[in-house]
Structure 1
Amino acid sequence: MLEPIVIPATPSNSLLNYELYIYRGDLENQAAPGNKWHKLKHHLCAANQQKAKVIATFAGPYSNHLHAFSNTLKALDEKGVCIVRGELQANLTPTLKDAAKNGVELWPSSRADYRLGVDSLVAAKIQNEYDDVYWVPEGGGGMLGAKGCQEWARDIARQDNGFDAWALAAGTGTTAAGFLSAPEVPFLHVFSALKGAADQQGEIVQLACKLNSANCSDRLRFHSDCHHGGYAKHSEELRDFMKQIAQLNPNLILDPVYTNKALFAIIKAIQSGQWPNRRTLFIHTGGIQGWRGYKDEHNPFLKVCSHSES
């Protein structure tokens, strides 16, 4: 599951000083690839211990979390409910269609009410509809999600071949907190996909410290300036980069929201000779199904995607 990444060449010889590998988390667990299963598994155990009749969660209309949630609950024959951010339209997104086919009940929510989470009006209606509901945080977050990612980091570390640092993209920060809490991770670079997410660093450290009482902050470098205009947005420079990566690494698919931006930042730093680590392991956290929210002409990995996550 560890593969070298071919880096686009530059006029300088700086690339000779670096080795960049990728852990192919996107090839794990077909139903819930990447970090998705690891964030879900302890929540599912907690729901079982609670003897919950319904497992509910929150997600956007193209959510990788919802895709994994619905696939997993179908396999387990569990009843699922999802509060979906925004009004549901007659033409559902591919992700929502999959969730509905998998038996997940979709409840639309206004953005204002959605932000209230379990205290929202729509959540109260679901609580009244069903006797016993277990709530999975958005993205599979919280302590249980981070605990699953801590275990994932330890599994990956068994394959580590002397890397100076690991790197990954962050959305909720749950995976980053789990990795940071694992002492097996030598040093961690975290690249937020969110715009204006500088405060997220403190949240990641706080959650990591709850899992591991030792101070983890000295092993973290947080990057908050790699969003390319905002969540899920693409700059022209980023599109050109993805085309290069697709050509040089024909078996590798980057997702459109997270791994593409993180890897862009790393490789740009390597090309300029400013990346601080000689041997780096980049973690692919999955999310390839998210390309279904983009036009085909914007997906340089289309030929590979057609044989992968659907």
Structure 2
Amino acid sequence: MDASGRDGETPIAVVLPSPLSEVHDDRVQSHGIRLYLKRDDLIHQEIPGNKWRKLKYNLAAAKDQGHSRLLTFGGAYSNHLRAVAAAGHYFGFETIGVVRGEEHQPLNDSLTYAVGQGMRLTYLDRATYRRKSEPDVLAALTERFGSCYVVPEGGGNGPGVRGCAELPSEVDVDFDVIVCACGTGSTLAGIAAGLGGTARALGFAVLKGGRFLDEEVRRLQREAFDRVTENWAVDYEFPFGGYAKRTPELDAFITDFQARHGIMLDWVYEAKMMYGLLDRIASGAFAPGTAIVAVLS
């Protein structure tokens, strides 16, 4: 799908390939490691990083199938809901956001933004939300809102994975490991599938109790490419209490990283990944001479 606006005259300024820059940090270089940041967060202000990559082919599929409405899922602080709302606004789709849990007023900044982009919100109790992909739940939603193209939570489906698989080919330096944050596993599934040679992918889980991710990555790769790769792993040790939770330690890390490198890390995803990565580097998990690419999205 092209990056034109709903009227065909207002293009979305998508920055691809996203920039790559080397990190100069004594915590990395003292261990003989080279670290690069893949700045997917700069792809687009409102549809950044893996959100753009995962929506790219889903939007194309929705258009090809004749849909005018997107329906998707997320928590109250979901960046995915924000991105789908923005995509609907720019590409001319109505959007429905199904939010986990009860409605709370006033809306937080994420949901306020989504509503401002035209998204209609509805809520599912947590028990029903866990069954969101089951036919009866989806049937009730489509009966209420009409025919929809359903984008899974976090863009976790075959089209989303195929979009993420395009990322490794944009990296124009030799590297051994590429790391990303893991919520649904779709970004990791795509990146790993798109790797060549002996490079490996490592995901840092951002939610507590996320052990389902191993099987989910395999499922997503099968859906997207009808094969499963073995060149990836998930690190579960740095959720900082769970999804959308933070601690004073994590906040101090974010402040220090910004002071060192001028980059404010997203505390839901990227800060946990970078904290975990630097901790693993400090513990000697990577051999001297290893080149690592960390994806900010």
For these two proteins, the number of residue pairs brought into alignment is 277
- Picking from 14, 17, 29, the partner of 2:32 is 17
Structure 1 counterpart of 2:270, which letter?
A: T
Matched residue, 2:66: 51
Give how far 1:5 is off.
2.1
**Counterparts of 1:204 and 1:49, CA distance in 2:** 27
| Distance in 2 (alpha carbons) for counterparts of 1:96 and 1:181 | 33
Q: Secondary structure at the match of 2:25?
A: coil
Pairing 1:120-135 to 2, within 5 Å after superposition = 123-135=138-150
Letter in 2 for 1:163: F
Amino acid at match of 2:84: F
Q: CA deviation at 1:249?
A: 0.5
Residues 1:246 and 1:183: Cα distance change in structure 2 (over 3 Å): closer
Q: Which runs of 4+ in 1 moved over 3 A?
A: 118-126, 209-215
Show CA shifts across 1:90-110 (max 9, x none).
Answer: 301111111111111111221
Aligned to 1:192: 205
What are the ranges of 5 or more consecutive residues in structure 1 without an aligned counterpart? 286-310
Deviation per residue, 1:219-260 (Å, 9 max, x gap): 21321111122222223332332222111101x121111111
Deviation at 1:7, TM superposition (A): 2.7
Matches within 5 A, 1:133-152: 133-152=148-167
Q: Tell me if the contact between 2:68 and 2:92 (Cα under 8 Å) persists in the aligned partners.
A: no
CA 1:263–1:105: 2 relative to 1, 3 Å: same
Q: CA, structure 1 residues 101+213, in 2 after alignment: closer, same or farther (shift >3 Å)?
A: closer
Stretch deviating more after TM superposition (171-180 or 161-170): 161-170
> Match of 1:110?
125
Asked if residue 245 in structure 1 is aligned to residue 260 in structure 2, the reply is no
CA positional deviation for 1:271: 2.5
- What is the TM-score normalised by the length of structure 2? 0.85
Shift of 1:261: 1.1
The question of 1:232 aligning with 2:244 is answered yes
What is the Cα-based RMSD across aligned positions, in Å? 2.2
Q: Which moved more, 1:14-23 or 1:26-35?
A: 14-23
Report if aligned partners of 1:168, 1:284 keep a CA contact under 8 Å in 2: yes
- Does residue 233 of structure 2 align to residue 221 of structure 1? yes
Q: Work out the CA distance in 1 between the residues paired with 2:161 and 2:81.
A: 18
Cα gap change, 1:165 to 1:82, in 2 (>3 Å): same
Structure-1 residue corresponding to 2:284: 273
SS in 2 for 1:84: strand
| Secondary structure of the structure 1 residue equivalent to 2:30 | helix
Structure 2 Cα separation of the partners of residues 262 and 60 of structure 1: 20
Q: Report the CA distance between 1:209 and its aligned residue.
A: 4.5
SS of the residue 2:202 aligns to: strand
**Share of identical aligned residues, percent?**
31
Q: Match for 1:264 among 245, 254, 275?
A: 275
Please report the TM-score for the alignment, with normalisation by the length of structure 1: 0.82
- 1:46 Cα deviation (Å)? 1.5
Q: What is the aligned partner in structure 1 of residue 3 from structure 2?
A: none
* 1:198-220 alpha-carbon deviations (Å, 9 max, x no partner): 23123213422454456521x21
